[in-house]
């Protein structure tokens, strides 16, 4: 099949390699522009393969729509796209466009699906390949695959360890199915649909008096981005690599119980019996081992972290 591929990062790069390996003709590749003098991995792979490459700042311009139409592709493929792709682009290929999404649609539509699944304590996740339409993640489903979400998964581990490779293979499989004329278009059940906004600082603020599991799920859902945050000395302290550990009865929510080589231990939830240990933190400077950051910002046992502020 003759394709237009729009994507980015290592995921887009691997999808491109897989499509070429399966004998598909990639007529045009779109990737983000260079950042800090470094090409996006998808752009680098397209250049390596000698494929026509465009790196616009976005996809809403008439020029992009004209280029895609001129490519006379059979199918468009969206492989990890964070910019809005307008109907003029997605409708230009003969058969339309398909898109990868890291949840089992119709649940968890939106650009922060991984984060919200963890924040809400889900134990099953996965990905969907769907036919794009004018809505946000609303088009007919072509295929979906489930994965287990472990109790200590973060958004990063869920994506890189469980969804990335399966998602690449699933997207290539979807293109193969379309080429063979065997691709379904299953309408999404709107009665099951959920949508969440992009997960930002206003959602990542820790409330230490909330149940410890709720705090823990928030931290791992916001790891690595945007980073759940607490207040300390007028600034934000970002919390990463968390694990539940025993606390101390009577400890105040947000009280630092210990600082050591294994991390910063903070009481969470009412009663103090449960705590969370954070192996890494980010304060005013870069992310580093918790003990190093704690020393640099004056955190010690007995300190009390405040709730995060959006």
- Residue of 144, 120, 49, 134 whose CA lies nearest to 90: 134
pLDDT above 90: residue 74: yes
pLDDT cut 90: percent of the chain above it: 99
Query: Is the pLDDT score of 301 beyond 80?
Result: yes
Looking at 2.60.40.640, 3.60.21.10, 3.10.25.10, 3.30.2040.10, the CATH number of the domain 212-297 comes to: 3.10.25.10
Cis peptide before 240 (omega within 30 of 0): no
Residue whose structure tokens are 């390596």: 48
Q: Is a pLDDT exceeding 90 seen at residue 117?
A: yes
Q: What is the pLDDT of residues 149-202, one digit of tens each?
A: 999 999 999 999 999 999 999 999 999 999 999 999 999 999 999 999 999 999
- How much is the pLDDT for 270? 93
CA distance 294 to 270: 24
Question: Can you give the residue ranges of every domain in the chain?
Answer: 2-192, 212-297
Pairing of strands 25-30, 2-7: parallel
Q: Does the domain spanning 2-192 belong to CATH 3.40.640.10? A: no
Tokens coding 160: 């890189």
Instruction: Please state the φ and ψ torsions of residue 174, each to the nearest 5 degrees.
Output: -65, -45
pTM score > 0.85 for this model?
yes
| Crossing angle (nearest 10°) for helices 41-49 and 9-21 | 30
Over the stretch 244-294, which tens digit does the pLDDT of each residue have? 999 999 999 999 999 999 999 999 999 999 999 999 999 998 999 999 999
Query: For residues 202 and 229, is the Cβ–Cβ distance under 8 A?
Result: no
Does 310 score more than 90 pLDDT?
no
97 token code pair: 């466009």
Task: Give yes or no for a contact between 30 and 64, defined as CB atoms under 8 angstroms apart.
Answer: yes
Average pLDDT of the chain? 97
Give me the pLDDT at residue 227, please.
98
Largest CA distance in the chain: 69
Euclidean distance between the first and final Cα of the chain, in Å?
47
């Amino acid at each position: 099949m003759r394709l237009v591929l729009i994507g980015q990062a290592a995921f887009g790069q691997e999808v491109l390699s897989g499509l070429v390996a399966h004998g598909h003709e990639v007529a045009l590749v779109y990737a983000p522009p260079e950042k800090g003098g470094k090409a996006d991995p998808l752009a680098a792979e397209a250049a390596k393969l000698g494929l026509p490459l465009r790196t616009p700042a976005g996809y809403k311009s008439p020029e992009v729509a004209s280029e895609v139409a001129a490519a006379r592709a059979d199918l468009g493929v969206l492989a990890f796209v964070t910019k809005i792709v307008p109907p003029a682009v997605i409708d230009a290929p003969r058969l339309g466009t398909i898109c990868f999404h890291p949840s089992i649609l119709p649940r968890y539509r939106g650009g922060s699906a991984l984060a919200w699944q963890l924040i809400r304590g889900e134990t099953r996740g996965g990905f969907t390949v769907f036919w794009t339409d004018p809505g946000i993640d609303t088009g007919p489903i072509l295929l979906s695959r489930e994965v287990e979400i472990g109790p200590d998964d973060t958004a990063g581990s869920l994506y890189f360890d469980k969804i990335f490779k399966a998602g690449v293979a699933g997207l290539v499989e979807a293109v193969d199915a379309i080429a063979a004329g065997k691709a379904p278009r299953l309408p999404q059940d709107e009665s099951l649909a959920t949508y969440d906004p992009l997960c930002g600082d206003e959602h990542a603020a820790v409330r230490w008096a909330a149940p410890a599991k709720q705090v823990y799920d928030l931290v791992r859902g916001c790891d690595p981005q945007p980073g759940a945050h607490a207040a300390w000395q007028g600034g934000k302290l970002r919390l990463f690599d968390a694990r539940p550990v025993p606390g101390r009865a009577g400890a105040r929510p947000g009280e630092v119980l210990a600082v050591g080589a294994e991390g910063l231990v903070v009481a969470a939830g009412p009663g103090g019996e449960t705590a969370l240990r954070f192996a890494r933190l980010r304060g005013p400077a870069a992310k580093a081992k918790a003990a190093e950051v704690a020393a640099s910002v004056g955190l010690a046992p007995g300190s009390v972290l405040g709730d995060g502020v959006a």
